Amino acid sequence: MNLKKVHHIAIIGSDYCKSKDFYVNKLGFSVIRENYRPERDDYKIDLRLDDMELELFIMKNHPKRLSPEAYGLRHLAFAVKSVDETVKQLNDLGIETEPVRLDDYTHKKMTFFKDPDGLPLEIHE
């Protein structure tokens, strides 16, 4: 097995403007490329933040996520230098966060917030 790292993470969003604004203007990802796929009537936006890539698919009429506890991806976690500073920045942008707490195992600060479609996102020191 020759796995090196996660190449990208794919996220499905429902609203082009809200999702692109959230990931680019609020979280700071840059657009690598953006394509409309007429055969699927959707958009695929490739995003980068440092050495991390996200594929953001904007699709209409897909089923809503029933629960973060369902099988599959539970949440996406971002490493940050300071959870407290990042929470303030998120809140200043109008993004609600859960109360900051300590991870039971690492004893580092962490908390959650959600993207426009309710996908849980974590920040962790």
The pLDDT averaged over each successive group of 10 residues in the chain (125 residues) is 85 94 97 95 95 93 79 88 97 97 95 94 95
Query: How high is the pLDDT of residue 51?
Result: 92
Bridge partners, 10 (sequence order): 55
Instruction: Phi first, then psi: give them for residue 26, nearest 5 degrees.
Output: -95, -45
74-125 homologous superfamily: 2,3-Dihydroxybiphenyl 1,2-Dioxygenase, domain 1 (3.10.180.10)
Rounded to two decimals, the pTM is 0.88
CA 57 vs CA 11, 43, 54, 80, 92: distances in Å: 6, 6, 10, 25, 27
| Cα angle, residue 27 at apex, residues 119 and 18 outer, rounded to 5° | 60
Q: Do domains 1-62 and 74-125 have the same CATH topology?
A: yes
Query: How high is the pLDDT of residue 65?
Result: 79
CA 11 vs CA 31, 52, 68, 96, 105: distances in Å: 15, 13, 14, 20, 28
CATH architecture group of domain 1-62: Roll (3.10)
Query: How high is the pLDDT of residue 66?
Result: 78
Which residues have a Cβ under 8 Å from the Cβ of 37 and sit 6 or more positions away?
Answer: 43, 44
Query: How high is the pLDDT of residue 3?
Result: 67
pLDDT per residue over 69-100, tens digit each? 777 788 999 999 999 999 999 999 999 999 99
Query: How high is the pLDDT of residue 32?
Result: 97
Residue type, 41: D
- The ranges assigned to domains in the chain are 1-62, 74-125
Query: How high is the pLDDT of residue 79?
Result: 94
d(CA 44, CA 42): 7
Query: How high is the pLDDT of residue 63?
Result: 81
